[in-house]
Structure 1
């Protein structure tokens, strides 16, 4: 389960020192709003609420500064995994280095993880002014992507930190750190969208590693995921035995699967470590519509370990396309 430090949403990083006039709300207020939003997401799913940690805020600031200072470093990157490594980890030979891994970066500023806990991070671009003022942009964006989802939709987040860091031409990135505590928990499946969830976005944004390379970006729905948490057996693997997506009239919708049965490039390690399966509708969801999911998951021996039927509803307009399509690379 020590995978989260190597996840990212694709972005290009630039930076200059942060200017207070860039924002209409203070960093303290932004962080408090972010904490409240994350509490709401987790408590709605009966997960314990996290707390905001000042040292993780500092780690986020310093890691953001490192990324900013090295935005134009001439580092050869040949794969998705090397891009992921570049954003989340740090290199000792570059200016601003505080620690190789997210956990090292947190330790460097005096944060002390509890026993059985580790620290992960992620980075998101704040492309528009309205994104700078709303922590929801981060959490909604992470929830919309399968590999990033469990960074914020996790039943064992304890402490978090976040910091907006400026970069080139008045734009900004948001750096997020979190402590995850896994010891003493019983294995449990977590699925998303959850039962009776509303406002699910119609389509999924770009993500690395690319979970559905055979489908053009923005052409398919937000992913449905099922993940096994707190299972320490390295031999455990899970697969989709059945995956059905039905519209409100009971019509079957064509889908694409993501599991160890058909891992796209650079995804096998993630799927195995996360004990994770997913699927998407091959076209974006329809607005303000109800969908039903029927899913069965088996382990490597063929035993059914998860079986559930549930419903959710989508948002009333295509908010993702409205926000991103004009700028989507």
Structure 2
């Protein structure tokens, strides 16, 4: 396992990237990581960060960069009422928040507050000068214990790191691969799960495939009888038990019957997993694809653990990231060398 994985993930976890801020606060961090990894310079397309030649790639790896966030909709004595820009579960206990605002055309952390649930509505207690439209994200410090790392945005900064490291491996091997680090996945699921990603579909050539990289969290893992934090890569046939995207039969059979057993023989920890996997950017292939080409995809996942479902803080074993990178690289090489 690369000794830098811990450091890179810590950098990603400590960056505040609310909905619609991928191109604002996310881009500089990704640009620096690309420089360190020797990857092509990132560009912004439709609010998403793209690395590599998206118009000619044979495989697109994708993972969302935004995190659970709120927007201030009404200011009140002692703070402000917030609109949840994600599937909000009324909090039983208070949570610390970081507040991000635009002032004089500049983005900055303008203060901190406390999330308090009032009859199902999120309220931020703070004494700073708020403005309508300011954003808030959860504020949890990164903690590290050996291979275990916890933080506020494991969902889906772990997936971002898997994409970046897999891309490096594949470009070094001369393969035609690109990655998309997307915005708008963390939004209210009664509307779109996937707000910005579908705009990229029209760029993809016929025959390009998509690998969705995201996590499966405690409740989803429990649905498959998983009782310990996984260290292996996880391969699933569909999202939301079939309510979301379903991996095409031939691709699924190839993954299940060939790729997973072959990878296991090469000491890559990977397993077929029947766990519940929430819809994400894959929803863009189901509800609003903006292409005439029949773009197909599949899933490679990691497992993470927390006491509040998919809400922070979550904990991941870095070995899981390493195995996802190995399996993503393995599958891509086999697929593109067919």
Both proteins in one fold, TM over 0.5? no
Q: Give the TM-score taking structure 2 as reference length.
A: 0.32
The structure, 1 or 2, with the larger RCO (C-alpha pairs under 8 Å, 6+ apart) is: 2
Q: Give the TM-score taking structure 1 as reference length.
A: 0.33
